[in-house]
Amino acid sequence: MEEIIQAISDAADLKNKAEEFSHLSREKKIELLQKIKDIKSGAAGTFLNMVYPDEKDKDIQKLIKKLLFRLKTVGLKVDEPKITGEPALRRIEEKREHRGFISNYDTEGTRLVCAAFGIKKNYFIFINAITHFSDGVLELTSTPVDRRDLETILNEYRQRTNSSIVFVEISPKYASYIINETSAYSGKFTQEVKQLKQFTSNIKSKIQKPEDIYGLEIPDKTNPLPMEKILSNDIVEPFKLSWNTLENDKKEFANIGSSTIVLPPYMVEEKKQAFIKTLLERDDLKQKLPFMKRMMEDYAYIFHCLHEYGAYKGLIEMLKDKNAPHDILFRFTRKSLEEAGQKQPGLIVNPYEQIRS
């Protein structure tokens, strides 16, 4: 038996070892399979698939299938065990179900990105990511769940929504894109993201990347909303732009026009705009431009999912202007400078942690 375990660990001579397995007693087979349980490799999956077709004992067959399923849950690509002989009724190929979800940003600049990838009927790998506007992925967890657990998690998220925080269903392929993209921003969870690609490589979806958002169908007579109306929308409103010197810049901005020389309002406004333009030339704020564009693309998708087509169309038309990200960044920067009081705590939480506890 130890030679079989060593061969699987070395991924060598698997065919001969599968033949040896077939001659073991029932008790030895079960003992060996219990040891294989600790080997998480593609070779283990190959070996199990080799011994399954010739195995007659139904309990051992179930144990082999259980081990193959365990390998799938850790992200390994494992074939379904082959059944020998021609079945009376041909098995209909199972179409796996995949789902994706996203929230808007909360006051801390964080959001949820979730995905559930079907690995067999009524079983999923659930991916839960908390991402930051410009810092990328902050937390990433994955766990196998059955359909009931999945619905429990999703319902918990939905119950935490309100007029300013939404949680909408999106393309699972696009949810995967965001997790991959934000992992690259942060430089974290790169191995987990590589495993994630094994679940998404064959998924077909109309929306896979940001460019696909620009051509979504809407009613012909939809009128685009103006930028002011969109940026004051309840789901855009919670987002707060932050940078390292915000508090000092806020004080300096508030003091504009407060000198002993009384300035007319239009001159105070000109000085405030000049102050913000100078801020936007700094690297720490200039680097936020691509993130601002991506946020607005994701918000356009969210608006479309919510059937708020006027807001969707307004954002899409706005984003076709290359200066739009700069104009939007200007407005969020001013909003942060004019904001008084302490920032409220973020609204994004992970109810799955509470479900497990």
Q: In what order do the strands lie in the sheet with 123-132?
A: 136-146, 123-132, 110-120, 98-103, 167-170
Tokens of 348: 């994004």
Residues 207 and 235 in one domain: no
Residue at 88 is within a domain = no
> Helix, strand or coil for residue 323?
coil
Q: What pTM does this model have?
A: 0.70
What's the confidence (pLDDT) of residue 337?
94
Residue at 160 is within a domain = yes
Q: Which residues pair with 116 in a beta bridge?
A: 99, 126
Q: At what angle do helices 172-186 and 289-305 cross, to 10 degrees?
A: 160
Residue at 84 is within a domain = no
Residue at 82 is within a domain = no
Structural domain boundaries, residue 169: 98-215+348-356
CA–CA distance, 331 with 338 (Å, rounded to integer): 11
Does the structure show a pLDDT above 50 at 148? Answer: yes
302: Cβ contacts below 8 Å, ≥ 6 apart: 102, 104, 166, 168, 170, 235
Residues 203 and 130 in one domain: yes
- A 10 A CB-CB count for 341 gives 5
Does the structure show a pLDDT above 90 at 63? Answer: no
What does the pLDDT look like over 65-98, one tens digit per residue?
888 877 777 777 767 666 554 444 444 445 788 9
Backbone angles phi, psi at 188, to 5 degrees: -110, 160
What's the confidence (pLDDT) of residue 54?
82
For range 235-259, the mean pLDDT: 89
pLDDT band at 113 (very low <50, low <70, confident <90, very high): very high
Residues 59 and 155 in one domain: no
DSSP 346: P
Following DSSP, what letter does each residue of 174-234 receive, concatenated? HHHHHHHHHHHHHT--HHHHHHHHHHHTT---S--SGGGGGG----TTPPPPPHHHHHTST
122: Cβ contacts below 8 Å, ≥ 6 apart: 146, 147
Residues 332 and 352 in one domain: no
Residues 114 and 183 in one domain: yes
**Selection from 308, 259, 296 nearest residue 105 by Cα:** 296
Residue at 263 is within a domain = yes
CA–CA distance, 53 with 15 (Å, rounded to integer): 13
What's the confidence (pLDDT) of residue 74?
73
30: Cβ contacts below 8 Å, ≥ 6 apart: 59, 60, 63
**Selection from 321, 298, 315 nearest residue 226 by Cα:** 315
Q: Which residues pair with 144 in a beta bridge?
A: 125
Residues 113 and 23 in one domain: no
**Selection from 324, 340, 134, 346 nearest residue 244 by Cα:** 134
**Selection from 5, 94, 16 nearest residue 41 by Cα:** 5
What does the pLDDT look like over 276-320, one tens digit per residue?
999 999 999 999 999 999 999 999 999 999 999 999 999 999 999
Rounded to 10 degrees, the C-alpha dihedral 231/233/234/236 comes to -30
Residues 150 and 177 in one domain: yes
pLDDT band at 198 (very low <50, low <70, confident <90, very high): confident
278: Cβ contacts below 8 Å, ≥ 6 apart: none
pLDDT band at 274 (very low <50, low <70, confident <90, very high): very high
Number of domains in the chain: 3
